[in-house]
Structure 1
Amino acid sequence: MKRFVMIAAVLGVAVAGVSQAATVAEVKKTGVLVLGTDPTFAPFEFKGPDGTIQGFDIDIARAVAKDLGVRLEVRAVGFGALMPQAVTSGRVDMAMSGITITPERAKVVSFSQPYFRSAQVFIVRAGNPGKFAWPASVKGKVIGVQGNTTGQFVANDTLKPRGATLKVYDDFAAGLADVRAGRIAALVGDAPTVDDLKKRLPGQFEQAGKDLAAEDYGMVFRKGSDLAAAANRTLARLKASGEYQNLLKKWIVQK
């Protein structure tokens, strides 16, 4: 999804955390790998009926913990506090929450190799009654974005110059409610979110037009941590064994 935090607002916190990078040895010593995530981004991370946090990201993090020989502990952290403050301060050992790899973020945290290719898209009411299309229908339209996300960053850079008015939401669900009610023309979100909405709320939402921008998700660690290399080894193992493809089939709605 997601999710862009301006570098200047967090630089002081990030610098303070650089010298405290968690290591594989430290995690093994404690016996616990602490994952921070914002569980509002199905099917990557969300709370199930029993209240436990589950999803595609969680299963990948669990595989990393297994390869390290430790237990995974999942902590729910609001995205504004998660990326990068919770990582750089040592509140969590790693973060996964549909976090897009960007050069700005890479200045203050370490990323794994990309583990999922996504895209920013326009979400509209099913049937697209407003006939919204990208880029033809942007001028003069009100388009929703979730605050502090890559969707907001791309929209500021791409849609505003074309004459769109952006409405910023703290809560993605509030943006969806406005789409459903016809109060905004479209909401910018991640492509897998559209597929998940079609599954959970059939007949309510769909994607309109072409993708706005492509992006890669990465696992996040404190700057310089060798946990990033460990995560890359797990990711390579999952792909070589076929387990990664099984997780895609389990969690990500295939078109």
Structure 2
Amino acid sequence: MKRALLALLALTAALQTAAHAATVAEVKKKGVLVLGTDPTFSPFEFKGSDGQIQGFDVDIARAVAADLGVRLEIRAVGFGALMPQSVTSGRVDMAMSAITITAERAKVVSFSGPYYRSAQVFIVRAGNPGKFAWPADVKGKTIGVQGNTTGQYVGGDLLKPKGATIKVYDDFAGGLADVRAGRVAALIGDAPTVTDLQKRLPGQFAQAGKELVAEDYGMVFAKGSDLAAAANRTLARLKASGDYQKLLNKWIVQK
């Protein structure tokens, strides 16, 4: 029975991989590039008022698809399942969701070159009523992180040894709700997210202290896929033409 179950799981994985392309030739043949993203990381990916997923990452993915001569199909995938399972299983052709390039992840997936330089920071309630600071004020505090993100690794490796309690959330919105309610002292998130929150929800959130760690975001593909090289060509074109800066101005640069 166990062998039969394992065989069934292997067959299912194989069928999933076959159903979705992992190479440029296969993407062009089917005429669509399938993007997986967790639409909860504004301004990188989020659902607009019309319910459609949009953002900085989505526009870059659209440019990759356009250069390949195919349309872009977007699938919402929770971050825990997005990295790396959705890519390694073949459920999607590429993943973008402010995904940090790490040596550990690069063992199982292929990254494009960096397309955005960011940092992990503490998000607190506006006015910082708890007077939370970094690195002086971590011991005895409960810090929120989203599961399977760089923030979780930072929390476990850097903050927990200093006496912080780490609370893991399935989604970023849950962590923000607890920050707003004062149930956690701070939430670890991406620096551009703080700027975006201050624009969308003025008077509710702020950054506390300095940056924890810097990080580079990359587009994610199946291990060894030539789609990574194609994405790099698109990124180079966008930067050379000035369109990359236009996207930065559209989504990230604070007006």
Quick check: TM above 0.5?
yes
Identity of aligned residues (%): 85
Aligned residues of 2:133 and 2:208 also touching (Cα < 8 A): yes
Distance across 1 between alignment mates of 2:158 and 2:175: 19
Deviations along 1:141-185, one digit per CA (max 9) or x if unpaired, are 111111111101011000011111111111211211111121211
Deviations along 1:90-149, one digit per CA (max 9) or x if unpaired, are 111110011110101100000000000111100011111111110100111111111111
1:41-60 matched pairs, under 5 angstroms: 41-60=41-60
Match of 1:173 in 2: 173
* Unpaired runs of at least 5, structure 2: 1-8
- Secondary structure class of the residue paired with 1:189: strand
Distance across 1 between alignment mates of 2:87 and 2:46: 20
Distance across 2 between alignment mates of 1:175 and 1:77: 18
Q: Which runs of 4 or more aligned residues in structure 1 lie more than 3 Å from their structure 2 counterparts after TM superposition?
A: none
State the structure with bigger RCO (CA 8 A, min sep 6), 1 or 2. 1
Distance across 1 between alignment mates of 2:24 and 2:168: 39
Match of 2:159 in 1: 159
Match of 2:249 in 1: 249
Distance across 2 between alignment mates of 1:137 and 1:99: 28
Aligned residues of 2:178 and 2:184 also touching (Cα < 8 A): yes
- Secondary structure class of the residue paired with 1:144: strand
- Secondary structure class of the residue paired with 2:104: helix
Match of 1:128 in 2: 128
1:77-96 matched pairs, under 5 angstroms: 77-96=77-96
1:62-77 matched pairs, under 5 angstroms: 62-77=62-77
How far 1:208 moved relative to its partner? Answer: 0.4
- Secondary structure class of the residue paired with 1:49: coil
- Secondary structure class of the residue paired with 1:103: coil
Distance across 1 between alignment mates of 2:109 and 2:31: 23
Aligned residues of 2:80 and 2:147 also touching (Cα < 8 A): no
- Secondary structure class of the residue paired with 1:159: helix
How far 1:78 moved relative to its partner? Answer: 1.3
- Secondary structure class of the residue paired with 2:72: strand
How far 1:218 moved relative to its partner? Answer: 0.2
Q: Which has the larger radius of gyration?
A: 2
Distance across 2 between alignment mates of 1:159 and 1:192: 21
Aligned residues of 1:196 and 1:253 also touching (Cα < 8 A): no
Q: Which amino acid aligns with 2:31?
A: G
Q: Which amino acid aligns with 2:38?
A: D
Q: Which amino acid aligns with 1:54?
A: Q
Residue 117 (str. 1) matches residue 117 (str. 2):
yes
Distance across 1 between alignment mates of 2:184 and 2:67: 46
Match of 2:141 in 1: 141
For these two proteins, the number of residue pairs brought into alignment is 241
How far 1:83 moved relative to its partner? Answer: 0.9
Residue 102 (str. 1) matches residue 102 (str. 2):
yes
Higher deviation after alignment, 218-227 or 166-175: 166-175
Q: Which amino acid aligns with 1:191?
A: A
Aligned Cα root-mean-square deviation (Å): 1.7
